[in-house]
Amino acid sequence: MKLDDYPCPKFTIKEIYNATSNLSITNLTGEGAAGKVYKGILPNTGQKVAIKHIINDGNAETVVREVTSLCHVRHPNLVALLGCCVGDYECFLVYEFCPNGNLYQWIFGTPWKEKCLSWTRRLEIAIDSARGLWFLHTFSEGRIVHRDIKPTNILLGPHFEAKLSDFGLSKVMEDGDIQVSSEVRGTFGYVDPEYLNNRQVDSSGDVYSFGVVLLQIISGKKVINMNMKEPLPLHKMAKAFTKGESMLEFADPKMTGDYPSEAFKLVFELALSCTGIKQDRPNMEKVLIKLEQALALSTKRQNPIPSTSPDQISVSERFEQSDLDT
């Protein structure tokens, strides 16, 4: 595996092992198909980092995709790749550390079972994530399709600013490409059904996945309801709540009704449009504008400033930090 051509800082194996106390199990924070993730502290700077340990057995393509996508990309709503360490049989990718875990943990109760994200906090996280996706889809040096948007890949920084992570399935689009053919990649329940059928990669697949995540953010429901005789995808379940006031019954009960109904309905309908047929889906710029409108309704701000660039700072930096309900 050769990554010398990429402008990515290099760490030595000694630095990696020192940072993680020799890959101590006490520093293990997660494990996925491609490898394990450890928290660590860089010995020279004292900076807290997350270090992904990848065994090179069949995972070389994953590493190259991550480094290709992130080595030259910087944005407040993308997790920063700080460097890598590549050996013959294993490699390590070093990222900024996000101390508040991932969105999945906060929606579904682990490890913070006693806390609940407020409505405005959920909107801020959705806006941050949308801004990161819009940036990827319009990146001037090569548009990037993430292909694995889901709650576990939305990390939360110290002020709950959302950062997209895990670019192991991402696809960099060449100039002039509207869509490209590819084998189906992604996570069950979040993959665009049209992509499953035609295997054409484009940004609308990310929009679909984001719509599913948005439904989870507002409902607290899993992506597939396995308690039914026939498992039902979340976006199909949501359609049953589209008549009258029943739409509000879709809301996460942990929020105890603490949200404006007009804002909830706006986000609910936006999520359904994202998961609709491909030609009717909004792009991420339009998604972002709608979400900011919902936040304006929720915070009773008048004349909200519209988004004009995906490079603007994250919404969590623009608004006063809202409290978590405990």
- Per the residue annotation, which of 148, 166, 202, 206 is the catalytic one? 148
290 contacts: CB under 8 Å, gap ≥ 6:
266, 267, 270, 282
Q: How far is CA 228 from CA 92, 159, 250, in A?
A: 42, 38, 17
On the question of a cis peptide bond just before residue 111, with omega within 30 degrees of 0, the verdict is: yes
C-alpha 106: how far from its chain's center? 13
Residue 252, C-beta contacts closer than 8 angstroms, at least 6 positions apart = 107, 218, 219, 220, 221
Q: What is the DSSP code string of 106-158?
A: HHHTSS-TT-B--HHHHHHHHHHHHHHHHHHHT-TT--EE-S---GGGEEE-T
Annotated catalytic residue 175: no
Parallel/antiparallel/unpaired status of strands 180-181 and 81-86: unpaired
Using alpha carbons, list the distances in angstroms from residue 197 to 31, 105, 181, 193, 284. Answer: 30, 31, 11, 6, 23
Taking each helix axis from N to C end, the angle separating 261-274 and 284-299, rounded to the nearest 10 degrees, works out to 170
- Segment (H or E) for 50: strand 48-55
Q: Residues with catalytic annotation?
A: 148
